[in-house]
Amino acid sequence: MFPIPTGSLLALGAILFCIGLYGALTKRNLIIVLVSIELMLNAANINLVTFSRLGVGPNISGQVFALFTITVAAAEIAVGLALLLAIFRVRKTTEVQDLNVHKH
């Protein structure tokens, strides 16, 4: 089995997190924002699993935390898509800037 260097995995996690952060902060479509948040959570999962390999005795605590993060991410995307559908039915748009609640 070919071991992947720790620095490469951490760099991959950082790059994915930066791409997700860019998408969450700059995109106007709510679906793209939700996908960007998922990308950020997956980057955190990569880092959790990478850091669990380090140390004198590697343990599975990083994998356990990553499993909980995947569960939370699945619930977040389900609730986010349900809210998105409800907003789309009322406002007929998925643009973030059009979701001002106080607008009449």
At 44, which CATH number? Answer: 1.10.287.3510
- Confidence (pLDDT) at 39: 95
Is 11 domain-assigned? Answer: yes
pTM of the model: 0.82
Percent of the chain with pLDDT over 70: 94
Q: Which domain holds residue 50?
A: 6-91
Number of domains in the chain: 1
Residue 102 has pLDDT above 70, yes or no: no
- DSSP string of 78-103, one letter each residue: HHHHHHHHHHHHHHS--BGGG--TT-
Averaged over 80-101, what is the pLDDT?
Answer: 81
Is 63 domain-assigned? Answer: yes
- Confidence (pLDDT) at 103: 56
Q: State the chain's mean pLDDT as an integer.
A: 88
pLDDT digits (tens, 9 = 90+) for 7-42: 999 999 999 999 999 999 998 888 899 999 999 999
- Write the single-letter amino acid at 12: L
Is 96 domain-assigned? Answer: no
Is 104 domain-assigned? Answer: no
Is 14 domain-assigned? Answer: yes
Distance CA 61, CA 86 (A): 38
